[in-house]
Each structure stands twice: as C-alpha cells, then as structure tokens.
C-alpha cells in the first residue's frame, strides 16, 4: 500500500507507541495511536460478556503492560481472568530453560473442560 504509512518514519520508530502511530493505526483505518488503542481495546467491554470467556494475558507482556490489564471488578461474572506473571506476548513457557510451551494450552483446555 504505497503512501499508506511513513516508511522512513517507521525506520526511526523506537517504541510501540511510535510503531502503532506510524504503521498499525493507519494500516487499519485509525487516526493515530490513541484512536487505535481506544477503539480496539476489549477491556471496556468485558463487563458485558454474558457467556463463559477466558481472558488470558501475561503480566510481563511487552506489548500490553501488566498495570493496564483488567481486574476482577472490571469484568462480568462470566469472565475468568488468567494473568500469569510470565509468558511474554504469546509464549507462556513453563519449567527450566528452555522450558516448554504447554502451560497455556493445558490451562486453556482445563478451562474449556470445566465449561462443559
């Protein structure tokens, strides 16, 4: 998509905020980072969920700061929060290095099994 984003500015981006402002937001039709982060966020809607839902976020996610994650008081009764201290953005390794990546699938399967 020529002209959709500032390629030179993108090369200089050094934060997620700058990257989202220069690339992610315009690519997906948002005005800027604030517009993207506000309109794409699920957190403001979690209290309205009426079916069982598992919300999974590692507290050390480099893209989603732990202090921005939802608290139990901010979600509906049908929402289960799982916020392990480690896991990065999508890894959730367990055990000694190099670890294995079974923690997240096991936890999700366990949660799903309990929903039946």
Burial class, 92, CB count within 10 angstroms (exposed 0-12 / middle 13-18 / buried 19+): buried
Name every residue whose Cβ is closer than 8 Å to that of residue 52 and which is 6 or more positions away in sequence.
78, 80, 115
Per-residue pLDDT of the chain (116 residues; tens, 9 = 90+): 677 778 888 899 999 999 999 999 999 999 999 999 999 999 999 999 999 999 999 999 988 889 999 999 999 999 999 999 888 887 766 667 666 667 788 889 999 999 99
Contact 55, 80 (CB under 8 A): yes
Contact 41, 74 (CB under 8 A): no
């Amino acid at each position: 998509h020529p002209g959709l984003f500032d390629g030179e500015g993108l090369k200089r981006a050094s934060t997620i905020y700058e990257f989202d402002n220069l690339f992610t937001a315009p690519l997906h039709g948002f005005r800027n980072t604030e517009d993207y982060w506000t309109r794409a966020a699920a957190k403001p809607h979690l209290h309205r969920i009426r079916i069982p839902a598992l919300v999974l976020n590692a507290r050390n996610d480099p893209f989603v700061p732990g202090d921005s994650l939802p608290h139990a008081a901010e979600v509906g009764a049908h929402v289960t929060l799982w916020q392990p201290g480690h896991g990065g953005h999508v890894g959730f390794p367990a055990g000694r290095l190099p670890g294995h990546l079974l923690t997240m699938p096991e936890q999700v399967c366990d949660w799903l099994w309990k929903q039946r």
